[in-house]
């Protein structure tokens, strides 16, 4: 009896072991099959993950590089903006200085033109003399006083050339006193500076036998002798020396 039980027990254990072994084998085969099918996928997935990681690292690097580039460009733009603003300020200063310089040069040019002119403003130059044709009527004495205020004298004609210039310059419809006078009828004709008149220059028509002063004027190319108390324009004359340049 004892030997039968032992045999039965051994037989039972052997079946269990067989089943267990078969289960283990099936499980091992399933695992192997699963491992066989999933191993390429796992490898592919791993490679894909590594690729994503590399791409992420590369993208992060490029983002950092781009950010650094943008930051550098912003700094450069800021620096360039500051430089541009500085240059604009300097340009405005230079333009203002240029304007002031131009005005100064213009003023100097005007002053030089005035000071270097041989005759005062509104005077006409002829040779070494300056001539002023007044636009106000005065008697002969008033005309002489007017010329004195200009540091000049009434016209004294001393040459044929000067006479032609005066006759051409004097307006034909106006009459101008000149510096030629005589104190009485029959008396000598004298210039304002008391020098004697030369008949070689021109002739003076007689003005009658009056005992009052007679003065000479020019009108329409003719010389006329008449009462000094009459009203005429006048012609003043002075030299072109520097002492007369500032007199108007």
Give the mean pLDDT of 180-202: 88
Domain count, the chain: 2
Closest-CA residue to 173 (of 116, 133, 124): 133
Reply yes or no on whether the pLDDT at 124 is more than 80.
yes
Residues 55-93: pLDDT tens digits? 788 887 787 887 778 777 888 888 888 898 788 777 767
Reply yes or no on whether the pLDDT at 113 is more than 70.
no
Same domain, 51 and 31: yes
Reply yes or no on whether the pLDDT at 211 is more than 70.
yes
pLDDT of residue 61: 78
Same domain, 101 and 151: no
For the ranges 5-14, 19-28, 179-188, 223-232, which has the lowest average pLDDT? 5-14
Same domain, 44 and 95: yes
Concatenated DSSP letters for 118-172? SS-TT-EEETTEEEEE--S-B-HHHHHHHHHHTT-EE----SHHHHHHHHHHS-T
Reply yes or no on whether the pLDDT at 104 is more than 80.
no
Same domain, 62 and 158: no
Among candidate residues 58, 89, 116, the one where a domain is terminated: 116
Same domain, 40 and 3: yes
190's tokens: 């004298």
What's this model's pTM, rounded to 2 decimal places? 0.52
Among candidate residues 63, 81, 116, the one where a domain is terminated: 116
Same domain, 142 and 83: no
Among candidate residues 79, 97, 116, the one where a domain is terminated: 116
Residue 231 vs residues 109, 131, 190: alpha-carbon distances, Å = 40, 20, 20
Same domain, 167 and 183: yes
Residues paired with residue 132 on neighbouring β-strands, in sequence order:
236
Same domain, 77 and 131: no
Q: How many CA atoms lie less than 13 Å away from 33 in the CB half-sphere? A: 6
pLDDT of residue 28: 63
CATH code where residue 202 lies: 3.10.100.10
**Structural domain boundaries enclosing 12:** 1-116
């Amino acid at each position: 009896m004892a030997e039968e039980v032992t045999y039965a027990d051994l037989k039972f254990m052997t079946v269990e072991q067989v089943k267990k072994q078969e289960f283990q084998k099936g499980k091992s085969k399933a695992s192997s099959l699963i491992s066989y099918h999933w191993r390429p996928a796992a490898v592919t997935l791993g490679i894909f993950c590594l690729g994503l990681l590399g791409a992420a690292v590369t993208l992060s690097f490029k983002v950092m590089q781009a950010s650094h580039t943008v930051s550098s460009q912003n700094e450069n733009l800021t620096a360039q903006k500051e430089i541009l603003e500085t240059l604009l300020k300097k340009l405005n200063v230079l333009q203002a200085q240029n304007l002031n310089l131009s005005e100064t040069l213009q003023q100097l040019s005007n002053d030089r033109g005035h000071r270097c002119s041989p005759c005062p403003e509104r005077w006409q130059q002829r040779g070494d003399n300056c001539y002023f044709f007044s636009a106000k009527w005065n008697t002969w004495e008033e005309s002489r006083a007017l010329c004195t205020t200009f540091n000049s004298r009434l016209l004294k004609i001393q040459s044929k050339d000067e006479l032609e210039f005066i006759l051409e310059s004097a307006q034909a419809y106006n009459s101008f006193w000149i510096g030629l006078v005589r104190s009485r009828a029959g008396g000598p004709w004298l210039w304002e500076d008391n020098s004697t008149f030369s008949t070689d220059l021109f002739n003076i028509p007689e003005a009658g036998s009056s005992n009052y002063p007679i003065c000479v004027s020019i009108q329409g190319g003719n010389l006329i002798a008449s009462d000094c108390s009459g009203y005429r324009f006048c012609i003043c004359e002075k030299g072109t020396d520097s002492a007369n340049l500032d007199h108007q």
